[in-house]
Each structure stands twice: as C-alpha cells, then as structure tokens.
Amino acid sequence: MVAEDVTGEVVGDTSARHYNGGDGDSKQSEYELSTLDGSIFDSDGSSIASSMSSAVRSNSSILSNVGNYKFEHDRRYHSYREGNWVLPNDQQEQDRMDIFHQMALLRMDDKLHLSPLENPRRILDIGTGTGIWAIEMAFKYPGARVIGTDLSPIQVSPPANCSFEVEDADSEWVYPTNNFDMIHTRQLLGGISDWRMFFEQAYAHARPGGWLELQETPPEPHNDGPTPPADLPFLRVFSLFTEASASTSRPFADQVSQFTSHMKAVGFVDVTSETRRLPLGTWPIDPVEKEIGRYNVLNFLEGMESYTLALFTRVLGMSAEQVRSLIDEAKKDVCNRKLRWYFDLVIVRGRKPYMDEVVST
C-alpha cells in the first residue's frame, strides 16, 4: 500500500521544507505549511511535532526567499545556504545531471542501486538534484515513501509516494533516528564539510538492517593510452580545480578513499567498495562502454563550466572570460579520440546491524 502524501510538511526545527516539485527555471515552487503527517516516520515521529510552530516561524523568511536564485556570470545558483554548493542549478546543469543519471544506469547494468533491498518502506536521497533517481525509486518501490533533499527546489512533480525537501545535508538532520531502509547519495563531493559527521548521521537515521550507498566520481582523470602532455588544457582545468577546491571548506579532492574506514568506524557492517570505469569518449571497443563514453562526453561538455566557473572566479580570482576560454580549449581535449580518458565510478555501501546482531570486531 502506498504511503499517504506528505505535501507541504515542515518537520523539525532546522531547514526541511516539503513540496511537490517545481518546473525548474520558469517559476518558483509553491510551498504550503501544514501539520505533521506521521505516516513517513516511525511511532516516534510525534516527538518532533511539538517543534513545528517554532519551525514555521523561524523558517518563514527562508521559505519566501528559497526561490530567489542568485545569478552570476549568466548562470543561476541556489540562494538557500548560499555558497555551500558551487555548481549552478539552471536548466543547463539540470540537463547535465540527467545525462549523468543515464550514464550511471548504463554503468550499473540498469540498476538504481547495488544494496540488497526487500520491500523498503522509507528511502532518503540526499542531494537529489533533479530528483530523477528518487522518482524512479518511487516507481520501482510503490510501497515505499521516497524523500529527496537538495539545496534547490528544481525538481519536477513526483509520484504520490515521493516528495522533495529543501535541506542541507551538511547540517543536523531533522528526521527520526532508525528510520530509513536506504540512504543514497550520488556526486555529493564538494557538498560536505565533515564526512565523518555525515556518516555518523547516516548511521543514526538508518533503520537497523538499512543500507547506506554512495556513488561518487573522484575528480581524477585516468588515461588508457600513452601518457598525455602535461600542459594539456584538460589537465590544467583539473589542476586548478584541485587547487581552488582545496581552499574551500567543502573540497572535491578525493574523500572517497576514506569512506569505507569512516563507515566501519561509525558502526556499519558488510561495507564494500566497488569501482567501475567511466570512459570519456567513444574509444572503447566494448559497445556498452562506447555508449557510456558518448554520455560522458556530453556530461563534460555541459559540465566543465558548471564545476569551474564559480570556483575559479571566486577563489582563484580569474575572470569569467578567462575561465570560459580555458574550458573551450579543454573541450577540444575531451573530443580528441586519441586521448583515451576515463574516470572511476566508486560505489560504497554498508549496512546498519540489526539490534540483536552480534558484530565481530
């Protein structure tokens, strides 16, 4: 049986705002404040209902301004927790996110997740972006309540068992503990300042037996051919990206190598890390990898400016014209079939033990 809709809820005393989805660039999403619907929570959901009145009062100014996006160098950025995410949220970036989703599905053999789920009741998608993963999970598991959170209310209208919230995963989570059968993230690097705290919160809010799965692409280009010249604009972009990112409180630098140790340290079991190759270009012989490579070219052609423009102008002091000129040169390297680039898709997952489970140390 599909859980009841929770459109319009405001939960907890921090930043969650529930809504049905918006239409991207054309209009601001409408918000409706109502009473707590405990159907998405366990029996302890009522324990946070008492804070609703103060939550509505404290969040009213945020609710009125969350759709007042910031425009910079002809790109549009989120306004809620301004600066916590350096990528834009405009239509160009939304298109890129959906391209990446299709590419990830190909790489994961048309699976939305690798964690073994059986009749999940509650699923949380952190950094949901356009909401496409959350919506497809809602269709796959019609008996589950799926919640997608993001800093931007850019999602389309979801099915009845899916809702979206404006939320910052880098802050204290507002949900009841022991609540979710699955917590999912994808491409969240650059959005978390304290990964250890993130894993602690994920562990606390996962249901015993529930899964946490992260799908990340570390910003490290690899080459399957002769060593390319070190002065290529494409490599220059990544060098500057690493430099600029390291100067922020939410670096994109490889945090993924520490994920498994963090997960084990906070209590997750059955922790695994799996790496799959994402070719950039049509150079692979394998037809599936060739198709993945086509998607990845589009991903990079659309996304290199998204990842660099704000970061390079704000942190490195470059002009927008300088950034775009460098990106135009780097795009030539992306389309050069002699340069056999590829990146890693790293899938890390782990399970919260059952209450009566004996965990070996």
Summarised one tens digit per residue, pLDDT across range 254-298 is 789 999 999 999 999 999 999 999 999 999 999 999 999 999 999
Residues for the chain: how many in total?
361
> Predicted confidence band at 40 (pLDDT cuts at 50, 70, 90)?
very low
Predicted pLDDT of residue 45: 35
Predicted pLDDT of residue 250: 81
> Predicted confidence band at 53 (pLDDT cuts at 50, 70, 90)?
very low
Q: Is 353 left (phi over 0), alpha (psi -120 to 50) or beta?
A: beta
Predicted pLDDT of residue 72: 86
Residue 97 to residues 40, 87, 234, 306, 335, Cα–Cα distance (Å) = 27, 11, 21, 11, 20
Ranked by mean pLDDT, which of 57-71, 175-189, 246-260 comes out on top?
A: 175-189
Q: Give first-to-last CA distance, the chain, whole Å.
A: 39
360 pLDDT higher than 80:
no
Predicted pLDDT of residue 230: 87
Quote the radius of gyration of the chain (alpha carbons, Å). 20
Higher pLDDT, 149 or 360: 149
Nearest to 221 by CA among 260, 273, 279: 279
d(CA 276, CA 2): 34
pTM metric for this prediction: 0.82
d(CA 338, CA 226): 9
Weakest mean pLDDT among 112-121, 168-177, 325-334: 168-177
Structure tokens at 328: 């135009």
Predicted pLDDT of residue 349: 98
Distance from chain centroid for Cα 181: 18
Q: In the beta sheet, which residues pair with residue 298? A: none
Q: List the chain domain ranges.
A: 18-351
Predicted pLDDT of residue 10: 28
The percentage of residues in the chain with a pLDDT greater than 70, rounded to a whole number, is 81
Strands (E), 10-99: 18-19, 70-72, 75-77
d(CA 150, CA 136): 17
Q: Is 129 left (phi over 0), alpha (psi -120 to 50) or beta?
A: left
Architecture of domain 18-351: 3-Layer(aba) Sandwich (3.40)
Q: How large is the average pLDDT for residues 74-88?
A: 80
> Predicted confidence band at 76 (pLDDT cuts at 50, 70, 90)?
confident
Alpha helices in the chain (DSSP H): 52-65, 91-107, 132-140, 195-205, 233-246, 259-266, 287-315, 320-334
Q: How large is the average pLDDT for residues 107-112?
A: 97
DSSP 302-352: HHHHHHHHHHHHHHS---HHHHHHHHHHHHHHHT-TTS-EEEEEEEEEEEP
Q: How large is the average pLDDT for residues 219-224?
A: 93
2 pLDDT higher than 70:
no
d(CA 59, CA 73): 29
